[in-house]
Amino acid sequence: MDLKEFIIPAVDIKDGKAVRLYKGNPDSAKIYGNNPVEIAKMWEEKGAKHLHIVDLDGAFEGKPKNIKIVENIIKSVSIPVQFGGGLRNYEAVKAILDIGAERVVIGSMAYQNKEETIRLINDFPEKIVIGIDAKDGKVAIKGWLEKTEYTPIEFAKLFDDLDVWGFLYTDVNRDGALTGANVEGTKKLAQSLKHPVIASGGISSLEDVIKLYNIRHYGIYGVIVGKALYEGRIKLEEI
Amino acid at 4: K
Phi, psi of 25 (to 5 degrees): -80, 115
β-strands 146-147, 138-141 pairing: antiparallel
161 is a catalytic site residue: no
Catalytic residue among 55, 133, 171, 208: 133
Catalytic residue among 12, 57, 171, 208: 12
Spatial separation of the C-alpha atoms in residues 222 and 220, rounded to whole Å: 6
Q: Is-contact 203 228, C-beta < 8 A? A: yes
12 is a catalytic site residue: yes
Spatial separation of the C-alpha atoms in residues 236 and 88, rounded to whole Å: 33
The catalytic residue positions are: 12, 133
